[in-house]
Amino acid sequence: MTPQDTLHSPPLPLPIKDFITYFMQAIKGGRLYSSRHTLFKQSVTRLRDKLQEAVEDRDFFFVGFTADSLLLENDFFPAGDVHGRDFLNLFHSLGISHLAIHKNVTIEELESFVESLSGAESGQGQEVVTALQHENIKGINLGLLDYSVFSGLESAVGHFVQGREEAAIWRQLIFRPALAGGFHLRPDQEKELLRLSDDPENLKRAISELDRSIRSHAKVISQGQRGLIIGSFLQNISKALGRSGIQKRKLFKESVAAVLKAIRQDVRVSILGAASPDIIEREDGGVLHDLIEDMPEKELVGLLVYALDQGGPQSTVFNNLFRMALARFSTAGPLLSLVRDQMSLATQEHKPDSLNAWQHLEQLLIHHQESEEFNTQYRQAIENLATSLKIQKDMIEDEEMDRLVRTLAPDSLKLLKASLIIDLLQSSQRGDSMTLPLLQFMGESVTFFLNQGKPRLTGNLLRQVFLSLGRLPQEASYLNEVNSWFRAEEVHRLLKSLFEKCRTYEPREMSGISSICQLFPEKACGFLIDSYLELRDDQSPLSDWLTTTLVSLSTHLPRLLSSRLNGAQDTALPRLIDLADLSSNQQITPAIEKLLEHKDYDIRSQAVGCLGRLKSVNSVQPLAQLVLEKSWFGGRKKKALQLEALKALAEIPAEEARAVLQQIASTHSGELQELSRNLLEKS
């Protein structure tokens, strides 16, 4: 049955009709009285009684709001009487597409929900959802699809179910929020579902068809919303298959994995990130949870960093994936190691762009780890104090009062004020106009602590600033403000002090220093280059950290590195060329090209190789000159250098480079000609 057929459909079942009537009465009560008023409380109590009757033996009461009908457990129903129409209009006006209430919802939760709905104005569906989160109401779930999107989705689903048997069950699987309540399938319905779930090709076809239909009917739908609908659809199928046994569920999981592997990464991330950990924590996590649990570790952190890079740390998709990943490993430690491995790989592969996202993820994990530890310790301290007070009251009392009084010391208050600024910067409730002033106040705080000779504290605060900036829009004024806090000498002094305190150079120890480098890249580069030149062990954790950090700052390296290359002593040149190589930044090529005339063959050879890897078309001419240069006095080293230059030219993806190779291949002889031909064949 489609919504259009509702005219001929049976009326709403009586318990549902009653529930709706009492729901609207409670809403009216909420508009007339405060939530503490007896009449309001009575109306919500009656509503809860009616909810129990309406929910029957299910876990959830679910209702979806289509254009002129209500989608209940099994089908569409006309809105019916005046209360029904008011009910529908209320949710339409708010932009809420479905409502699911758990059978065990508490009276307080229901009161708060009704109060929020009563006080909401048109279009404030998102605010109602935020209110539920604020008040920690977990028994009520709201769907937020813009009404035009939802209408489009309704048409899309209508199109999708055309020609399918058991259209009603398909509608339920698509419209219902993930895992909200059970599905009661008849054997024939179950069979149809199994046909889909057992065969990856069938499933892939169905999902593509659904997605195509959604895109064509709901034109303004976002990618996140598409992911949410498809994710929810897959979760519901896994829930519906619950009774078919572990084997069938496993087959379905494999089919979903195969389908997700075949689709674009952005869509895959949206679908996997659609699974809310709140639902997963409560009950069966569904197929998406199973997939995350069984996913290869490397793939999982790849998903995380992609979601972070695309949506930022506050996006729902990233947060869902982040929490599920943490739930899988119990702690952040294993994830941190995985992230560190991926960072090393990105460094080796000269991928500075991806390094920034990895570093951001690393900092988030460290922050999470520290917060967890801090909160555990604090909870323990609360328990200890309560117990100790019972046993040895006086002494403990004095100690605790001393501790509390110390928090009022001027320096403690300065630190608390700095922490407050961080909290405000990270708060979604902050007024936008306050961002810049807050950063200015933060600048005063960190300068104060640095001048007080507290580098570690300064570093910790700067790390929080780095995480806060990740949540802010990337505006130049913010970055300029932060950059103005310290001069280059101060950044060097700070980094030097922090380095002196390092022992292991592990991620957690280096997190403050990493943040400073990211916040003041131009000013930190000089210090980092100097540290790199002084490295004694290339395999040490310090070397790994320095290399990774310098590569992540590659866009800021050229000017400084060029000037160092120009005035460097010969002994420093190999490492400087290494750095130029690692940076993969073509702006550095002029400084390297100058080294082609260096007196030392090894330096010349290293410079040639570096130019090839930098792949700048501007390097073709000096490299060609080296190859084409004829000298009566050319020895073995000269020849070797020319061969190196040919290989470098082959790495540059430009017609000009290819032309030089072709010229050598046709006009020269011997080793040079042979290598040119080989290289041309390979390209």
Partner 1 sequence: MTETPMTPNPKELYLDLCLNFFGALRALNLYTENHPEASKKIGTFYQKLDRHLAQKPTMTWLFIGREAVIENQPLPELETVLGKILPMLAKIKLERLTFLQGVSVEELTAFLRLLLPLMKESSGGEMMLSRNQGKLPHILAGRLPLNSQDQVTFDSVAGALQSARQTVLAYTAELKQLLGDIRGPLSPPKVMKAKEITEAVYRMVQKGDLTFKLLIYRRSTDPDLCIHALNVSALSMAMAAQVKLDAPVIKEIGLGALLHDIGLSHAPSDLFSTGGMTLDEKNRYWEHPVRGAELLIASPGMPDIAPIIAYEHHIAYNGTGFPVKRNPGAVNFGSMITGIADSYDNLRRNRQDVDALSLTEALNHMDRKINETFHPLLLEKFRSMVKAQALTQ
Chain positions contacting partner 1, by CB under 8 A: 30-38, 40, 115-116, 118-121, 124, 127-128, 130-131, 134, 371, 374-375, 377-379, 381-382, 385-386, 389, 397, 400-401, 404-405, 407-408, 410, 413-414, 416-417, 419-424, 426-427, 429-431, 434, 437-438, 441
Compute the least distance from the CB of residue 130 to partner 1, in Å.
8
* Nearer of residues 424 and 488 to partner 1, judged by Cβ: 424
Yes or no: say if 622 and 597 are a contact pair by the CB < 8 Å rule. Answer: no
Q: Using alpha carbons only, what angle is made at residue 511 by residues 507 and 512, rounded to the nearest 5 degrees?
A: 155
* Minimum CB–partner distance for residue 416 and partner 1 (Å): 5
Q: CB of residue 159 vs partner 1: minimum separation in angstroms?
A: 36
CA-closest candidate to residue 200, choices 265, 160, 260: 260
Other Cβ atoms closer than 10 A to 536: 7
Nearer to partner 1, 117 or 280 (CB): 117
Query: In the complex with partner 1, which residue's Cβ is closer, 106 or 555?
Result: 106
Token duo for residue 105: 């919802």
CB of 134 to partner 1, least distance (A): 6
Give the list of residues 6+ apart from residue 305 with CB closer than 8 angstroms, or none: 339, 342, 354, 357, 358, 361
* Residue 407 or 563 with smaller CB distance to partner 1: 407
- Output the smallest distance, CB 405 to partner 1, in A: 7
CA–CA gap between residue 518 and residue 363 (Å, rounded):
11
Cβ-contact 644, 605 below 8 angstroms:
yes
Q: Which two structure tokens, joined as six digits, stand for 35?
A: 């939530």
Angle at CA 179, nearest 5°, toward 170 and 143?
Answer: 80
Of the candidates 293, 294, 317, 291, the residue with the CA atom closest to the CA atom of residue 304: 317
- Taking the CA atoms of the chain, what radius of gyration do you get in angstroms? 32
| CB closer to partner 1, 131 vs 279 | 131
Q: For partner 1, which is the closer residue by CB, 131 or 193?
A: 131
Q: Phi and psi at residue 69, in whole multiples of 5°?
A: -145, 170
Shortest CB 565 distance to partner 1, Å = 44
Please give the Cα distance from 157 to 160 (Å, whole number). 5
Cα–Cα distance for residue pair 402/356, rounded to 1 Å: 44
CB of 36 to partner 1, least distance (A): 4
Q: Report in angstroms how near the CB of residue 336 gets to partner 1 at its nearest.
A: 19
Nearer to partner 1, 367 or 575 (CB): 367
Residue closer to partner 1, measured from CB, 115 or 211: 115
Query: Is the CB of 482 or the CB of 580 nearer to partner 1?
Result: 482
| Spatial separation of the C-alpha atoms in residues 585 and 582, rounded to whole Å | 8
CA trace torsion 646, 652, 654, 655 (10° rounding): 10
Shortest spacing between CB 89 and partner 1, in angstroms: 17
C-beta closer to partner 1: residue 204 or 430: 430
Give the DSSP letter string of 202-220: HHHHHHHHHHHHHHHH-TT
Least distance between partner 1 and beta carbon 22 (Å): 17
The residue among 680, 670, 681 whose CA lies nearest residue 649 is: 680
What CA–CA distance (Å, rounded) separates 113 from 44? Answer: 10
Any idea what the Cα angle at residue 678 is, between residues 676 and 679, rounded to 5°? 65
